[in-house]
C-alpha cells in the first residue's frame, strides 16, 4: 500500500470523527425524543434492563430464558417504534445512524479471513492516492479500457512484418501485464522509458499505467518534467522550503514515479543533477520510474550528462513509439 503513515493517521481521524458525530446525533435524537415523549424514558429503561437480562441468559447458556428475553426485547422495541410514530418521529429515530451501514463507520469489517478493510475505507485510500499523485480524476477516463487501437495505422510498418497497429497491440498487452505484476516486475523491466515524437500517444499510455497501478492501491506521483523541476527549485521562504522537502521525499518514496515529457523544461545544471539524484536513488531503492520523452539517446546525454544517460540506458526498459500525430487522427475521426 502506498500511503504514508501521516495519511493513514488522517484516515483514522476521519473515522474517529464520523464515530463521534454518529454518537452526537444519536444523543441528540434521544434528547429530542425524551422531551417530546415523556413515556419513552420508562420504556428505554425497560429495554435496557431486558438487554442486560438477555446478556445474562446468553452467558449462562439458558436457551429457553434467552428466547423469552429476545421476544420481550422485540415487543418493547416495537412499542417504541409505535410511540415514536405517534409523536411524529421516524420509527428508527433512536437507532444509531451510520454513514456506512456496512462497517458502522469503523472502516473495517469482519470477513471470512478475519478483519478486513471496508469498501468505504478503500475508497478513501483511493482519494488520497489520487490527491497525492497529481493525476486528476478526469484522467481516470484515459485507461486501458478506453485504449483505442484503431488510431494506429495498420499500413505503416515499424518493423519486419509488423505494422504500427500490431506493434501497439503488443505494447498495450505488455503494459497491462506490467501493471498487473506491479510492483514485483523483474529488475530489467522495473523502469520504463517511452520515446516518441509529439502526438505518438505517450501521455495517454502514461495515464493508462497510472490509473491501472493506482486502482491496485499503489502510490503514484505523476508530474510533467516542467512541474517536477519547478516543484524542487529554489524557494523564497521557510514554509516553501518545507513543502519542497516534503515533495522531494514523496518523489523518492512513491511506489511509481512518472515523469512526462522529459526535456521540455529549461535544462541546466540544477535539473541535470536533480534528475540524476532522483533516478539513482530510486534505482538503489528498487522503486519504479517511468519517463516519456521526445529526446533521442544522444540528446538525453547532451542535456543530462553521461551518467544519467547511462542509467536511462542500463536500468530502463525502452519503448519507441511511432506514427503520425494521433491527436490529428483523432480529430479527423480516423
Q: Is 14 among the residues that bind Zn ion (CB under 5 A)?
A: no
- Binds Zn ion (CB under 5 A): choice among 17, 27, 92, 102: 102
How many residues contact Zn ion, by CB under 5 A? 5
- Binds Zn ion (CB under 5 A): choice among 11, 47, 83, 100: 100
Judged by CB under 5 A, the stretch of 114-122, 159-167, 176-184, 260-268 that binds Zn ion is 114-122
Q: From the CB of 5, what's the least distance to Zn ion, in Å?
A: 22
SS (H, E, C) the chain: CCCCHHHHHHHHHHHHHHHHHHHHHHHHHHHHHHHHCCHHHHHHHHHHHHHHHHHHHHHHCCHHHHHHHHHHHHHHHHHHHHHHHHCCCCCCCCCCCCCCCCCCCCCEEEECCEEEECHHHHHHHHHHHHHHHCCCHHHHHCCHHHCCHHHCCCCCEEECCEEHHHHHHHHHHHHHHHHHHCCCCCHHHCEEEEECCCCCCHHHHHHHHHHHHHCCCCCEEEEEHHHHHHHHCCCCCHHHHHHHHHHHHHHHHCCEEEEEEECCCCCCHHHHHHHHHHHHHHHHCCCEEEEEECCCHHHHHHHHCHHHHHHHHHHEEEEECCCCCHHHHHHCCC
Q: From the CB of 28, what's the least distance to Zn ion, in Å?
A: 23
Q: From the CB of 110, what's the least distance to Zn ion, in Å?
A: 12
Judged by CB under 5 A, the stretch of 100-108, 132-140, 227-235, 324-332 that binds Zn ion is 100-108
- Binds Zn ion (CB under 5 A): choice among 118, 254, 279, 309: 118
Of 102 and 215, CB closest to Zn ion: 102
Judged by CB under 5 A, the stretch of 86-94, 102-110, 131-139, 285-293 that binds Zn ion is 102-110
Judged by CB under 5 A, the stretch of 74-82, 118-126, 205-213, 225-233 that binds Zn ion is 118-126
Q: Give the residues lining the site for Zn ion (CB under 5 A).
A: 100, 102-103, 118, 120
Amino acid at each position: 500500500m502506498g500511503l504514508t503513515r501521516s495519511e493513514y493517521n488522517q484516515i483514522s481521524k476521519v473515522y474517529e470523527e464520523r464515530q463521534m458525530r454518529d454518537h452526537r446525533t444519536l444523543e441528540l435524537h434521544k434528547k429530542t425524543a425524551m422531551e417530546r415523549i415523556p413515556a419513552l424514558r420508562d420504556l428505554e429503561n425497560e429495554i435496557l434492563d431486558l438487554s442486560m437480562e438477555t446478556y445474562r441468559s446468553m452467558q449462562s447458556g439458558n436457551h429457553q430464558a434467552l428466547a423469552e428475553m429476545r421476544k420481550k426485547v422485540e415487543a418493547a422495541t416495537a412499542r417504541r417504534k409505535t410511540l415514536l410514530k405517534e409523536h411524529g418521529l421516524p420509527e428508527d429515530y433512536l437507532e444509531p445512524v451510520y454513514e456506512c451501514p456496512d462497517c458502522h463507520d469503523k472502516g473495517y469489517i469482519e470477513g471470512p479471513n478475519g478483519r478486513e478493510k471496508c469498501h468505504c475505507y478503500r475508497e478513501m485510500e483511493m482519494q488520497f492516492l489520487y490527491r497525492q499523485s497529481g493525476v486528476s480524476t478526469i484522467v481516470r477516463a484515459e485507461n486501458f479500457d478506453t485504449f483505442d487501437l484503431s488510431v494506429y495505422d495498420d499500413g505503416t510498418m515499424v518493423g519486419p512484418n509488423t505494422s504500427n497497429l500490431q506493434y501497439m497491440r503488443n505494447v498495450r498487452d505488455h503494459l497491462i501485464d506490467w501493471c498487473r505484476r506491479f510492483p514485483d516486475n523483474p529488475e530489467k523491466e522495473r523502469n520504463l522509458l517511452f520515446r516518441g515524437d509529439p502526438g505518438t500517444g505517450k501521455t495517454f499510455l502514461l495515464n493508462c499505467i497510472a490509473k491501472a497501478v493506482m486502482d491496485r492501491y499503489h502510490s503514484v506521483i505523476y508530474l510533467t518534467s516542467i512541474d517536477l523541476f519547478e516543484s524542487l527549485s529554489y524557494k523564497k521562504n521557510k514554509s516553501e522550503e518545507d513543502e519542497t522537502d516534503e515533495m522531494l521525499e514523496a518523489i523518492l518514496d512513491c511506489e511509481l514515479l512518472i515523469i512526462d515529457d522529459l526535456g521540455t523544461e529549461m535544462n541546466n545544471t540544477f535539473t541535470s543533477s536533480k534528475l540524476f539524484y532522483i533516478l539513482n536513488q530510486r534505482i538503489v531503492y528498487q522503486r519504479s520510474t517511468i519517463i516519456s520523452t521526445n529526446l533521442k539517446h544522444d540528446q538525453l546525454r547532451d542535456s543530462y550528462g553521461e551518467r544519467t544517460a547511462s542509467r536511462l540506458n542500463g536500468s530502463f526498459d525502452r519503448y519507441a513509439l511511432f506514427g503520425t500525430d494521433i491527436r490529428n487522427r483523432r480529430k479527423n475521426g480516423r
